[in-house]
Structures are given as structure tokens and as C-alpha cells.
Amino acid sequence: MSFSFRRSKKQEDVIVDRVTGAFNRRQLDEDIAAGIDTSGQSTATLMIDVDEFDTYNGKRGNAKGDQVLERVAWVIMATVRTTDVVYRHEASTFCVLLPSTSDTDAVAVADRIQMNVAKMPLLSECGVTIKVGVASGAAGDVKDAVDRAVRALDEAVRTGQPRILNAEAAQSTPDSLTPPPAMPDPAMRPPGPIVESAPAALAPPPPEAPFAPPVAAPLDAISPPPPPSLP
């Protein structure tokens, strides 16, 4: 299945999100079910979330929040190729399907989107940032790539990283690592007879030298002081 952008106005009213201009979740589900024809090449998925959107929306109001979502969607659509498709996945989350795209190229696209969001004055003035989860998979199993991109995005939000590639790499936590072998306890002895070694003989201390009193110099060997000189 290849994406077609030749749709009537009535169709667009049903499948396009009115706030952002991206395709809606219903269309994403239909496209995932239909599959993507990429001649056997992998399809990459980006899941993009606006950081702290609920807090921003609560402070500034729904109208300001909708403007942020509209501008973020515009940046995404202006950055990707015409063969890529942008959907509004949830309230502040977008999904981008990238046909015939490798992991390396998908990461490069994600980095460009983040850079363009940071450079756009209307977004940077509001302190808007995004996080991205990246995954890729076979063209016939887009749902698996989307699910892994969702998990990667969740891990990026949890750890505070701007972008994470694939959920498998994101889930490599220290808990999953094999613990090192325990160090032997020096207090534990191996089984078997215990042989106590005799203590080494101590060497006696060296004898002390006999005390010799100091020898006084003879009186005639001491020169008297010179007489004081008269003026």
C-alpha cells in the first residue's frame, strides 16, 4: 500500500486533525492495518511528544496550547519528505511514518526536527522542547515499529533524554545485567583439616651500649677571654 494525498475535501474533514493539520489517529490506524509498500525496505517510525504540554496548557489556556501544537506540527511536516506522513497520535504526541528509511536516517530526521523546533522563534520564546522515540521494522509490520517507538518515547520521557532509538536499547537497564560473582569471604575456610602454623621465633633485641659520662676538658686547656681595650 502506498500513501495517496489526492483526497477530496470531504475525506480530509474526516481524516485530518483540525488543530494541527496532520492526519488523525483514525487514519493512522487504517494506514497501519493496510501496510506500506516500500519494496521490501524497512519503515521507520518517529513518536514525538511536546514536553510538559499539560502544564503549559493549564497555565496559558487551550488556545495557546493549540497554537503550540499547530506550530510543532508545521515544523515536523516542513522537515520530513513529501513521502513521509505525519499523524496526531494523542493530545500532544505526533507519529511520523518514514517509508524506506533506515535507523541511521530516522535518527538524523529526528535530530533535524528537534533542531528546527528549537530554532523557531514562536516556539523557542515559549520554551517549547520535544522528545522523540525512534524505531524501524519491516514494511509489512508497521504496527510493531509504532509500538516500539511508543516504548522508546516513554523511556525518553522517563529518563529525560531528548531522543532514544528503539525500545530494546531503551530497556537495557542495570537490572537486566548479570551481577558480578561474589567475592570470597576471607573469614570462611575451605573444608578439610585445619593446620595451624607455629609462630616465627622472635629475634632478641640488640644489647644496649654501656653509659659513658661526658669527659670534662682540663682547666689549662681553656683560654681566658682577652682583656677589654681601653679608650
CATH code of residue 137: 3.30.70.270
d(CA 144, CA 140): 9
- Among 4-18, 19-33, 89-103, the least confident range: 4-18
Residue 231 inside a domain? The answer is no
Answering whether pTM is above 0.85, one says no
Residue 137 inside a domain? The answer is yes
In angstroms and rounded to an integer, the radius of gyration of the C-alpha atoms of the chain is 40
Residue 30 inside a domain? The answer is yes
H/E segment holding residue 147:
helix 142-159
Residue 145 inside a domain? The answer is yes
At 212, the pLDDT band (50, 70, 90 cuts) reads low
The answer on pLDDT for 113 being more than 60 is: yes
What per-residue confidence (pLDDT) applies to 35?
74
Phi–psi pair at 96, nearest 5 degrees: -125, 125
Assess contact for 20 and 73: CB atoms under 8 A. Answer: yes
Percentages helix, strand, coil for the chain, rounded to the nearest 5?
40, 15, 45
Antiparallel, parallel or unpaired: β 163-165 and 130-137: parallel
Residue 212 inside a domain? The answer is no
* Cβ contacts of 50 within 8 Å, gap of 6 or more: 56, 68, 69, 72, 92, 93, 128, 129, 130
The answer on pLDDT for 227 being more than 90 is: no
- Average predicted confidence (pLDDT) for the chain: 76
C-alpha cell at 224: 681566658
- Determine the average pLDDT of the residues in 160-187: 52
Burial 102-116 (b: 16+ CB within 10 A, else e): eeeebbebbeebbeb
Task: Give Cα 121 to chain centroid, integer Å.
Answer: 26
Digit-coded pLDDT (tens) for 18-55: 999 999 999 999 988 887 665 667 889 999 999 999 88
Number of structural domains found in the chain: 1
What per-residue confidence (pLDDT) applies to 177?
33
Bigger pLDDT: 35 vs 75: 75
C-alpha cell at 77: 511536516
Residue 43 inside a domain? The answer is yes
Residue 73, SS3?
helix
Range of the domain at 47: 17-172
Nearest partner of 152 among 29, 47, 25, judged by Cα: 47
